[in-house]
Chain A
Amino acid sequence: EIVMTQSPATLSVSPGERATLSCRASQSVGPNLAWYQQKPGQAPRLLIYGASTRATGIPARFSGSGSGTEFTLTISSLQSEDFAIYYCQQYNMWPPLTFGGGTKVEIK
């Protein structure tokens, strides 16, 4: 099973600042990495797939990068609606599909 590790667990950022979230895989997943956003009481929403491709309707301030075992999600200028929990997920080798433990982005 591929283990996904996200860091930091919590990120405190001021509105308008940049946020950088990390995700590491226990073995290479190639480009097969997705990012999701989850707000309280809501289902997750797909942000990024293929490590760097934004899903339909996702604003350009969200960008993904990386390949193999190291990935980054960057939010260039945090808006109030971006404060949420973010999860990475690998789909290179499954079952099982595996998620990271999440990074909570909170208001500083």
Chain B
Amino acid sequence: EVQLVQSGAEVKKPGESLKISCKASGYTFTNYWIGWVRQMPGKGLEWMGIIFPRDTDTRYSPSFQGQVTISADKSTSTAYLQWSSLKASDTAMYFCARFGENAGTFEYWGQGIPVTVSS
């Protein structure tokens, strides 16, 4: 069974750094793109970026390029999303999600990580 298990809720201050994780199991981690989707409070879904763990090919949405870094650790089958300096506007729910056999669509999703950035 494919599972994506995300790390727990985070509360941070503006300017702090953060790295959240998404641990995959039930499939060969290196064979599928895995991405991140933001959902701000009461708002819709925004695609942030995606990584192909086999060769670490990473693509970003222009809206998030330079704002976040996506990485993956093949040894632990874990994808990461990190910020070097958080802003209050980063407050949101963050989902990881994996492409299905039909590349381009997110067939499997993590449970989401709520991130709150407040002074």
Residues of A within 8 A of B (CB): 1, 32, 34, 36, 38, 43-46, 49-50, 53, 55-56, 87, 89, 91-92, 94-102
Contacts and interface: CB of A to CB of B under 8 A. Distances in A.
Given A53-B102, A95-B47, 14 more contacts: A34-B105, A36-B106, A38-B45, A43-B97, A43-B110, A44-B37, A46-B100, A49-B100, A49-B104, A87-B44, A89-B105, A95-B59, A95-B60, A97-B47
Contacts of A91: 103-105
Nearest to A101: B44
A49 B102 contact: yes
Interface of B: 35, 37, 44-47, 49-50, 59-63, 95, 97, 100, 102-107, 109-112
Contacts of B49: 95
Contacts of A56: 107
Contact of B104 (A34, A99, A100): A34
Contact of A1 (B35, B37, B50, B62): B62
A43 B105 CA distance: 14
Q: Which secondary structure characterizes the binding site on chain A?
A: loop
Nearest to A93: B104
A60 to B, nearest CB: 19
A97 B109 contact: no
B62 A100 contact: no
Contacts of A99: 44-47
A46 B44 contact: no
Given A1-B62, A96-B63, A46 B45 contact: no
A95 B37 CA distance: 13
Contacts of B95: 43-44
The 10 closest A-B pairs by CB, nearest first: A91-B104, A43-B109, A96-B61, A97-B47, A34-B105, A49-B105, A95-B59, A99-B45, A102-B44, A49-B102
